[in-house]
Amino acid sequence: MDCPLCNPARENVVWRDNLCRVILVDDPDHSGYCRVIWHDHVAEMTDLDPAARRHVMNVVFAVERALRDLLAPAKVNLASLGNMVPHVHWHVVARFADDKHFPESIWGREQRPGQPRPAPAPEELAGRIAAELERTSTDI
């Protein structure tokens, strides 16, 4: 199988469990851009059983909360596209009014040069994600 999410190379994994992982994407234009990636190769959320769907969404929400706490963005975008890579994964993107694409999506037309921001420290992000998951307790 030639799926880049099944065969990751050089990912900056900040949190993982036996079902999914969170990576911090190296994107200088979008500080704190994370992906939540399901380990097994499935294309759609409805390919997962209900408990697995709840689990992945709990992780997505924990990443969102961690980014909000660490970066205080104007908005957090959540996206699950899979058009290029049909493997369940979620993009969790902290957005700032002065980022390169705001208010467009990060894949939209550039609006301005943008203001680079430092990414959160991976260990601090991991700790915040774990704490939020512990606080909200997943069911698998």
Report the CATH number at residue 123: 3.30.428.10
In order along its 140 residues, the chain shows pLDDT tens digits of 689 999 888 899 999 999 999 999 989 899 899 999 999 999 999 999 999 999 999 999 999 999 999 999 999 999 999 888 999 999 999 999 999 999 999 999 999 998 788 888 889 998 989 898 888 865 54
Amino acid 88: pLDDT: 97
If one counts every other C-beta atom within 10 angstroms of the C-beta of residue 24, the result is 22
Quick check: is 99 in a domain? yes
Domain that holds residue 98: 13-136
Contacts of 6 (CB under 8 A, 6+ apart): 41, 87
For residue 24 the two structure tokens come to: 């911090």
For residue 62 the two structure tokens come to: 């924990």
- Domain total in the chain: 1
Amino acid 13: pLDDT: 93
Instruction: Give φ, ψ of 15 to 5 degrees.
Output: -160, 145
